[in-house]
Structure 1
């Protein structure tokens, strides 16, 4: 069974490119365009990995990450924060809230594919 990945981002161009890239790598890809939708999909589908944008409508990626980490049923869900917020304080906050990894935009697709493979390989 191919790993399931949720792409949670409100930027359509990023969603389209990530969906294409990840499907090409053989993953099952789901989409959420805001934080509330992301939480609903995570609870319903229990993806193996969430690519989570920090700045989204309704709930931020930080809030989504925190809620996932406090839900025992979702403890195995890996979270990769993808964000334009690359300051050290943002990275520290994301990791403190339980993110497994953090990548700043813009990122190279090669690096992203490698990071995803590493996170899922460790699962």
Structure 2
């Protein structure tokens, strides 16, 4: 079986929190090649657990939305020192108002969440901000 650098062709990589290398490689490929995600890939990434800063940032960038959780992803990405281009791109996708709104939702409202998806993001967010 040949390895495909496609989110859509490898949904199992993105649903398993233990798979990190393949997930990161595919996300980097999309970022470096300026590939836009389709709706199916968007759905996969929205549910994707990530326990490291780079995949969290790459997912945030590829989703490109200002939902509260994604603003956290983008803000985490904005301080990623190992890839300054990624940090700059993430920083350009949110505003201070987006941050205030995201914090009010994620810190002050009761809502259902997936601990494998949200908890690592909130953990990194709290350690940086």
- Normalized per residue, the structure richer in helix is 2
State the TM-score, normalized to the length of structure 1. Answer: 0.32
State the TM-score, normalized to the length of structure 2. Answer: 0.31
